[in-house]
């Protein structure tokens, strides 16, 4: 790996700490975030958020209904296998919206889950050993090659 590539990599990894959006928009940052959450058995929020992104891309109304039901059963319903942490009101409102789903039916709950991750999971990720080790390792590699 060239010095330029390593410097760019170090820059990218450092940028993940700038904002949660930057982390999620970087394919390696997102993959690392997901992997870390999975090791802690707390990946339901990021998986839900990503599923909502995909949901919004569906063109067919029939597929939209099918996907909405699947999302509700997997993430939103009380005792769902991957139940996201949302309040009763949001859960009920989402359930109502999904009776006649539209492309925006999940917007509010997706924003709430994003906010939870941004406040809790993201700072935890930035403090994690895996992220700190990666930062330190790329820092040392960049310093070694620059001498």
For residues 18-45, average pLDDT? 95
Secondary structure of the chain as H, E, C letters: CCHHHHHHHHHHHHHCCCCHHHHHHCHHHHHHHHHHHHHCCCCHHHHHHHHHHHHCCCCCHHHHHHHHHHHHHHHHCCCCCCCCCCCHHHHHHHHHHCCCCCCCCCHHHHHHHHHHHHHHHHHHHHHCHHHHHHHHHHHHHHHHHHC
* Predicted confidence (pLDDT) at residue 145 exceeds the cutoff of 50: yes
Per the rule left: phi > 0, alpha: psi between -120 and 50, beta: everything else, 41 is left
CA 142 to chain centre: 29
Name the pLDDT band for 147 (thresholds 50, 70, 90). Answer: very low
Whether the model pTM is above 0.85: yes
pLDDT number for residue 9: 80
For residues 10-35, average pLDDT? 95
- Give pLDDT tens digits for 79-100: 999 999 999 999 999 999 999 9
- Give pLDDT tens digits for 39-71: 988 899 999 999 999 999 999 999 999 999 999
Indicate the class that CATH gives domain 3-146: mainly alpha
Report angle CA 141, 135, 4 to the nearest 5 degrees.
45
For residues 21-44, average pLDDT? 94
For residues 124-134, average pLDDT? 95
Q: Which two tokens stand for residue 145?
A: 């090659």
Judged by DSSP in three states, 40 sits in coil
């Amino acid at each position: 790996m060239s010095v330029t590539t390593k410097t760019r990599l170090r820059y990218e990894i450092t940028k993940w700490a700038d904002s949660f959006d930057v982390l999620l928009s970087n394919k390696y940052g997102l993959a690392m975030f997901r992997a870390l959450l999975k090791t802690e058995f707390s990946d339901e929020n990021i998986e839900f958020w990503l599923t909502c992104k995909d949901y919004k891309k569906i063109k067919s109304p029939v597929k939209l209904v099918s996907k909405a039901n699947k999302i509700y059963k997997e993430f939103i319903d009380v005792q769902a296998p991957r139940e996201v942490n949302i309040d009763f009101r949001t859960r009920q409102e989402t359930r109502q919206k999904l009776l006649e789903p539209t492309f925006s039916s999940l917007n509010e709950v997706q924003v709430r889950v994003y906010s939870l991750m941004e406040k809790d999971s993201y700072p935890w990720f930035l403090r994690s050993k895996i992220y700190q080790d990666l930062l330190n390792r790329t820092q040392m590699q960049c310093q070694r090659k620059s001498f």
